[in-house]
Amino acid sequence: MSLNPGDSLTSHNFGLQIDGVMVEYLSEVNGITLEQDVIKYPQNNGATGKTEIAVMPGTAKDGQCTVVRGMTQSNSFTQWINDSLEGRMSSARKNASIIVMDYEDNPVKRYNLRNAWCCKIDMSPVKAGEASALTETVTIVFEELVIE
């Protein structure tokens, strides 16, 4: 069932690719943020003599998001996290894409993160007698966001 004109995308069908490889056991992507400075400067309108405030785009800042996934024995994902946390930036910086899909698993929107790397990891609590899946929450920073 593909989307009809005016249909909204749903939040449950998505994926994360890192350097073209899909990350498995992904449960959540949250808080994609990117910010840009705003330059404000007053100028005098010659025709009326009144001061006006003009605004223009300034410097783009880096962005970040968080990814929650089931804790697995995935060596590639763990290696990427370790490369980032240990400062091996030549192998840690990767291009990533958050892909939103329609009901037929066709990609319909992509958030491309250039030079993404892990800056933080949180493990879910382990507790005696608890019967729940372990997860890891990874904070990813990136230098540029391109939305397709």
Does domain 14-147 bear CATH number 2.60.120? no
Whole-number pLDDT of residue 5:
77
**End-to-end Cα, the chain, rounded Å:** 22
Whole-number pLDDT of residue 56:
94
Whole-number pLDDT of residue 3:
67
For the chain, give every domain's residue range: 14-147
Query: How many CA atoms are closer than 13 Å to the CA of 143, on its beta-carbon side?
Result: 6
Q: Are 35 and 62 in contact (CB under 8 A)?
A: no
DSSP letter assigned to residue 129: T
Q: What pLDDT digit, counting tens, does each position of 24-76 carry?
A: 888 999 989 888 999 999 988 878 888 999 999 999 888 999 999 998 887 88
Residue 104's pLDDT band (cuts 50, 70, 90): confident
Whole-number pLDDT of residue 89:
94
Specify the pTM. Answer: 0.81
User: Which has more confidence, 33 or 94?
Assistant: 94
